Amino acid sequence: MTETPVVPDSAQPTVEVLTKEGCHLCEEAMAVTAQACAEYGLTPQQIDITHDDARMAQHAEEIPVLLINGRVRDFWRFDPQRLRRLLAEAVQG
């Protein structure tokens, strides 16, 4: 197994997971995301959109939603292999 390089702080991509309270898929998505991000020295941000009317209108049917550098990259169930590939692409720029 090859080691994944840790990204310097200045070049780190942002990883956000849009969630809502009481969502079991959100809990699973955060666990998968946290594990994959840890391999790159990244910390994902969990954003509860329950009280954000605009985001709820936009993403209500897709929760949880994965954003990398502000771009929607996945939703519902996050595939760990796909997530690692997306993170590798984001890290490489």
pLDDT, tens digit, for every residue of 19-68? 999 999 999 999 999 999 999 999 999 999 999 999 999 998 899 999 99
Q: What is the spatial distance between Cα 12 and Cα 70, in angstroms, rounded to a whole number? A: 13
3-state secondary structure at position 21: coil
Where is pLDDT greater, at 12 or 10? Answer: 12
**Structure confidence at residue 89 as a pLDDT band (50, 70, 90):** very high
Residue 83, token pair as written in the block: 């997530």
**Structure confidence at residue 18 as a pLDDT band (50, 70, 90):** very high
This prediction's pTM: 0.85
* Confidence at residue 7, expressed as pLDDT on a 0 to 100 scale: 46
CATH superfamily entry for domain 21-92: Glutaredoxin (3.40.30.10)
Q: What is the spatial distance between Cα 18 and Cα 56, in angstroms, rounded to a whole number? A: 10
Q: What is the pLDDT of residues 67-82, one digit of tens each?
A: 999 999 999 999 999 9
Residues 14, 68 contacting (CB under 8 angstroms): yes
Residue type, 81: Q
Give me the residues paired with residue 18 across strands.
47, 65
Interior CA angle at 19 toward 5 and 88, to 5°? 20
**Structure confidence at residue 92 as a pLDDT band (50, 70, 90):** confident
